[in-house]
Structure 1
Amino acid sequence: MAPLRRLCLCALLALLPPPPAAPAPAPAPAPAPLRRPDWAACRVLSRELSRLLAAVREPHPVLEGLQLLEDEPQNWPPRIRCSDACDPLTLESNHTRCLHRIHQALQHYRDLLGSDIFREQPQPQLETTMEQLLRHVPDGHGRPSRHLLAPTKEWEQPLQRHLALKRLRSFAALIGRVFNHSAR
């Protein structure tokens, strides 16, 4: 009797309609497409940034030739690495990662220029140029907010300013090459 019961149950199950399919999951919203940068404007602004940086003079001449070895301080910007794909070949096919890293560093330098280490030697033209570059370099995350940086001791400020300007000059040279290549 048990095999007959099993056979009847199987026959009844075969006659039943299939269970309703689970609703398909809603597709994930597509990320907003990263707008294309205005390469020509970025090239002009990066040249202006380099020009302004060349005009900044160290108030303490002894710092001009000073080479400081330092640990990785917390207040330094993200560095552009080979993995950020800022090389000419990769930029032509996919510039997203490179521009994201440039955007992060621009934000950091803009915040650094507005921090206490530049209180004695403010750089409003550099800050303005940074703001303009930030507007032209898309990041896909909306308006860049300002971040407060940790205060520095007064005696450290000239050294920190020297290091910040040195690194900013190096960064400006790198982004100048990126924007110059891409604006062609």
Structure 2
Amino acid sequence: MAPLRRLCLCLLLALLLPPPAAPAPVPLRRPDWAACKILSRELSRLLATVKEPHSALEGMQLLEEDLQNWPPRIRCSDACDPLALETNHTRCLHRIRQALQHYRDLLGSDIFRDQPQPQLETTMEQLLHHVQTPLEPPPPHHASMAPTAVWAQPFQRHLALKRLRSFAAVMGRVFNHSAR
């Protein structure tokens, strides 16, 4: 009878005690919007100074057939608009992180071997640091990219810089609004 009485007392005591407290939610680390704004402006400034080694490429428009194989870019569904950023910025920052990692890896690839861009890479690394959330592991540096034929490297470099300039303009708008 004693074990049954002990069990009843334990059950009664469990009912009388308050439930254990739920773990506190991990607060989202807000990025340093002002620093991101400054760095995105610096990135755009640096991109404006990059010159094509072959002047014929400056005015060239390359048609792209494979739209599915484009690098990450900010879309309407990424919630980078001002209203969405005020309530939840994680999806937008995730997309910006993806694109920055992609372009950083491109800058370290063979298409920029004869025209390295260390200042652009450094600025992107700093931006990546500012948009990183504490729960995410740091992104790997320079993932291996498929080698590009030597004759295609100037075209690929031109296309990569064109896309990066476009991305930097949109990213700059996001950070400019958020830094207010």
Question: TM-score over 0.5 for the alignment?
Answer: yes
**Following the alignment from structure 2 to structure 1, what is the Cα–Cα distance between the partners of residues 26 and 87?**
18
Secondary structure, in 3 states, of the residue corresponding to 1:51?
Answer: helix
Length, aligned pairs only: 158
1:100 paired residue among 54, 76, 94: 94
- Equivalent residue letter for 1:68: L
Mark the runs of 5 or more structure 1 residues left unpaired by the alignment: 1-16, 18-28
CA offsets, 1:9-28, max 9 Å, x none? Answer: xxxxxxxx9xxxxxxxxxxx
- 1:79 CA drift (Å): 1.8
Shift of 1:72: 2.9
Residues 1:55 and 2:49 aligned together: yes
- Does 1:66 pair with 2:87? no
- SS in structure 1 of the partner of residue 37 of structure 2: helix
Which residue does the alignment assign to 1:182? 178
Q: How far apart, CA to CA, are the structure 1 residues paired with 2:167 and 2:25? A: 29
Identity of aligned residues (%): 78
Q: What is the CA–CA distance in structure 2 between the aligned matches of 1:74 and 1:96, rounded to whole Å?
A: 24
Greater radius of gyration (CA): 1
Name 2:140's counterpart in structure 1: 145
TM-score, normalising length from structure 1?
Answer: 0.80
Q: CA deviation at 1:148?
A: 1.1
Structure 2 portions without partners, runs of 5+: 1-7, 9-22
Q: Which residue of 2 aligns with 1:13?
A: none
The reply to whether residue 168 of structure 1 matches residue 158 of structure 2 is no
Structure 1 residue identity aligned to 2:161:
L
Partners of 2:33 and 2:179 within 8 A in 1: yes
TM-score, normalised via structure 2 length:
0.81
With over 3 angstroms needed to count, the CA separation of the structure-2 counterparts of 1:57 and 1:33, relative to structure 1, is same
Answering whether residue 34 of structure 2 is matched by residue 40 of structure 1, we say: yes
Task: Answer yes or no: is 1:130 the counterpart of 2:112.
Answer: no
**Stretches of 4+ aligned residues off by more than 2 angstroms:** 29-34, 71-77
- In terms of mean alpha carbon deviation, does 129-138 or 63-72 score higher? 63-72
